[in-house]
Amino acid sequence: MTQAIRAEMIETIRGITPTLDPAHPFSCMDDATGSRAALEDVTDHGATRYFEIRSTGSADLGMTGVTMVRYAESLEVRVGYYAAGADAARLDRIMAQDARDIIAALRDPNNYGSADALIPGREPPVVDQLDNGLIQAVPVTAVYVQ
């Protein structure tokens, strides 16, 4: 994926004001080049919404002219929730609302210019248990020409 698309996605997600628990904004673990620390290694539990963007696969969709090729890249927006002792039902509501907010923001074509489309995945978000919290993975596909 191009660095421009990754940077646009990061800024779009950072710009989301969470509907539930807005005192804990989205904070990115990586920069546009892909350098990052692992969500699994977070020790600062004061912020509940660290996120990263991971590539899970890509496909060449063919030529779109003489020199341009269209690609599709499968991505996951992974958000960490580190709220030890938090009410499980409230955390479920926060994660569900965050997934909706992320999908809505990435679906809005006004939030990006480098990708032809950012398409929410057909699968529901997946939640993994950590020793110190939860990670929710929201699937997205980026379609772009290069």
**Residue among 58, 62, 53, 64 nearest 112 (CA):** 53
Does pTM top 0.85 for this prediction? no
Lowest mean pLDDT among 31-45, 62-76, 130-144: 31-45
Average pLDDT over the chain, rounded to an integer = 80
pLDDT band at 18 (very low <50, low <70, confident <90, very high): very high
| pLDDT tens digits, 67-117 | 777 788 888 999 988 766 677 888 889 999 999 999 889 888 777 765 666
CATH number of the domain located at residue range(s) 3-145 in this protein: 3.30.2000.10
pLDDT value at position 21?
Answer: 85
| Helices and strands, counts by H and E, the chain | 2, 6
pLDDT band at 134 (very low <50, low <70, confident <90, very high): confident
pLDDT value at position 107?
Answer: 83
Out of 33-42, 97-106, 112-121, 131-140, the most confident range is: 97-106
Yes or no: say if 25 and 49 are a contact pair by the CB < 8 Å rule: yes
H helices within 75-124, ranges in order? 88-107
Q: Give domain limits for the chain.
A: 3-145
